[in-house]
Amino acid sequence: MTQSYSIFATGVIAHRGASGYAPENTIAAILKAIDLGADYVEIDVHMTADRKIVVFHDEGLERTTNGNGKIHNKTLLHLSTLDAGSWYDKKFAAEKIPTLENILLLDFKKTNLIIEVKNTNNIYNNIEKQIVEIVKESNFNNHLVYKSFGTEVLLRFKELDPKRDLLYVTIGPVLNFLVIDDGLRIGSLFEFDYIKYIQVHRLFMSKSLVKKAHKLNKKIIVWDVQKKSDIKKMKELGVDFIETDFPDYVK
């Protein structure tokens, strides 16, 4: 019997929290996503100079704080003094860079969590091990998924926390034998049996890609979908989840 995928069944992932309504990767954005009923909140993490895990997207501080320099060169104490909200709107001036522990203490209600690990070229030694330890100590009860552009990062998570699901994020496939993830790689999106979720940029998404993923029992996620017209198109393609700054648009 062929499984059908209703356009009304598409799940929603709040990108860096509900970052269309509050500064990305802040507690305000995450709470807003939970309030809007997102199925998942997606966050990014880095490691500080004193080996603390913080929720932040860029390696550098300039775009979304009043600080400068690289995260990995700063201590958590220094980062805690920065304003992580005014760049978005002055009413968010009190927002700080949260730690992963701060996020895991929030009341997620029915919302689940995706942790994207920024570890290109393995610049954060043993960051995966530290994240797994924090997650286990938190007793986070909702579904939690580890995400990365790097397959070597995901393999380390598989070994450290084998019961958790993994999400492989890419730009997308090029031809039939090239994939753009954290570089240009010869191979397929679907060659890693241990990875359950595959994420592709909307420009590379197609119905045939969705069908192939479902045939292999993979869940397919599309990212960078902000316009309502693009959300409608992605639903019609049958994707399992849409990652967006505006989770209420999908809902």
- Please list the residues that pair with 46 across neighbouring strands: 54
Q: Flag whether 90 is in a domain.
A: no
- Residue 177: the pLDDT is 87
Q: Flag whether 207 is in a domain.
A: yes
Query: What's the number of domains the chain is made of?
Result: 1
Q: Flag whether 118 is in a domain.
A: yes
| CA-based nearest residue to 17, from 36, 41, 37, 38 | 41
Q: Flag whether 71 is in a domain.
A: no
Can you tell me whether residue 172 is helix, strand or coil?
Answer: strand
Distance CA 178, CA 180 (A): 7
Rg of the chain (C-alpha set): 18
Q: Flag whether 236 is in a domain.
A: yes
| Structural domain harbouring 170 | 11-60+98-250
- Residue 4: the pLDDT is 39
| CA-based nearest residue to 76, from 45, 54, 103 | 54
**pLDDT per residue of the chain (251 residues) written in tens, 0 to 9:** 334 334 447 999 999 999 999 999 999 999 999 999 999 999 999 999 999 999 999 999 999 999 999 999 999 999 999 999 999 999 999 999 999 999 999 999 999 999 999 887 788 999 999 999 999 999 899 999 999 999 999 999 999 999 999 999 999 998 888 999 988 999 999 999 999 999 999 999 999 999 999 999 999 999 999 999 999 999 999 999 999 999 999 98
Q: Flag whether 245 is in a domain.
A: yes
User: Tokens 């509900």 identify what position?
Assistant: 18
Contact present, 117 and 45 (Cβ < 8 Å): yes
What's the CATH code of the domain at 244? 3.20.20.190
- Residue 200: the pLDDT is 97
Pick the catalytic residue from 46, 57, 143, 201. 57
Pick the catalytic residue from 15, 72, 78, 214. 15
Beta pairing, strands 197-201 & 165-169: parallel
Task: Indicate if 143 belongs to the active site.
Answer: no
Q: Flag whether 38 is in a domain.
A: yes
- Residue 193: the pLDDT is 94
Q: Flag whether 73 is in a domain.
A: no
Task: Indicate if 15 belongs to the active site.
Answer: yes
Beta pairing, strands 197-201 & 184-186: unpaired
